[in-house]
Amino acid sequence: MTDFTHLDDQGRVRMVDVAGKDVTRRVAIARGRIDMTADTLDRIFGRNVKKGNVLEAARIAGVMAAKRTADLIPMCHPLNLTHVRVDFFPDPGHNRIEIEAEASLAGRTGVEMEALTAVSVAALTIYDMCKSYDKGMIISDIHLKSKTGGKSGTFLADRYGHP
């Protein structure tokens, strides 16, 4: 049976036990962006997209996805978020929209994944609403901008948009 066990030990997935962690206020902010054609950007902000208000749909989808993070990401702990915010920052100079999401709660584990999931699903929703005009849109630079609370303390991305 040793061999079997050995094979099994190479990488069995586990949900880390967070029972021993402190309940602290935890906040995470994630960012990302979606690049598109100038025409698509105009349509979105000119409310000229056949499927409807793109950013409102994306915002709602992002908030709802944040609440379902533990359903999507296998080893994420289920959490009772107390706040989610999704905002959009158009950047007409680069034909893109920056997306920022913030999630927070008082709990035993961080909310980075909730913020990152909100950004990702908001971006996917923008793609879906506009894909009949522009299938070449690209979702990029999804990263954790900052995080506070918890044992690992504060994290700040060195600079925006870098690897």
Active-site residue list:
128
Considering the rule CB under 8 A, would residue 154 count as an interface residue with a copy of itself?
A: no
- Interaction between residue 105 and a copy of itself (CB under 8 A): yes
14 binds a copy of itself (CB under 8 A): yes
Is residue 112 annotated as involved in ligand binding?
A: no
Figure out which of the listed residues 40, 98, 144, 150 binds a copy of itself, where binding follows CB under 8 A. Answer: 144
**Minimum distance, C-beta of residue 88 to a copy of itself, in the bound complex (Å):** 6
SS3 135: coil
- Token reading at 129: 């609403």
Q: Is 137 annotated as a binding residue?
A: no
With binding defined as CB under 8 A, does residue 155 bind a copy of itself?
yes
H or E stretch covering 31:
strand 24-35
Q: Is 142 in the site for a copy of itself (CB under 8 A)?
A: yes
- In angstroms, the first-to-last Cα distance of the chain is 44
d(CA 79, CA 140): 27
> Is there a binding annotation on residue 1?
no
59 binds a copy of itself (CB under 8 A): yes
Distance, CA of 64 to CA of 26 (rounded, Å): 19
Residue among 27, 65, 35 nearest 161 (CA)? 35
Residue 130 annotated as binding site: no
Sign of the C-alpha dihedral computed for residues 79, 67, 77 and 154 taken in this order: negative
Q: Does 88 bind a copy of itself (CB under 8 A)?
A: yes
Which one among 11, 40, 100, 148 touches a copy of itself, defined by CB under 8 A? 11
Q: Would you list which residues are annotated within the binding site for substrate?
A: 75-77, 113-114
